[in-house]
Structure 1
């Protein structure tokens, strides 16, 4: 059985993808919970938009990260 891979792509204010690695999750729920717990530190590191990817394809609209 092949499990889906969920991970976050993070963009800066200019729309460039940051090289911050995201953990890989087996469920969308786990990925979203992780973002909810870590958005402040990601925002402090320059991320303004988080895009949830499912096996490399954007699965949901991007999530704006408020300034930390």
Structure 2
């Protein structure tokens, strides 16, 4: 299966999928670590890691305090 991030705006409104798909969870998480600030600047509030049809977990992109 391919790992991909579903992008969501505030309130859970879907805003698309990450442009890249990844062969491993670690690769997907590394990509997010490098890109979360840019996604947040574009108005993305949360991402959801998806493996094929299976939802793995959601993650807020709020700036940690």
The normalised TM-score by structure 2 is 0.87
Query: Could you say which structure has the higher strand fraction?
Result: 2
* Alignment gaps of 5+ in structure 1: none
- Structure 2: runs of 5+ lacking an equivalent: none
Give, in whole Å, the separation in 2 of the partners of 1:29 and 1:65: 18
User: TM-score of the superposition, structure 1-length normalised?
Assistant: 0.83
The correspondence of residues 12-31 of structure 1 with structure 2, limited to 5 A, is 12-19=9-16, 21-31=18-28
Of the two, which has the highest radius of gyration? Answer: 1
CA distance in 1, matches of 2:20, 2:45: 18
Residue 63 (str. 1) matches residue 59 (str. 2): yes
Q: Which structure carries more helix by proportion? A: 2
The correspondence of residues 1-68 of structure 1 with structure 2, limited to 5 A, is: 4-19=1-16, 21-60=18-57, 62-67=58-63
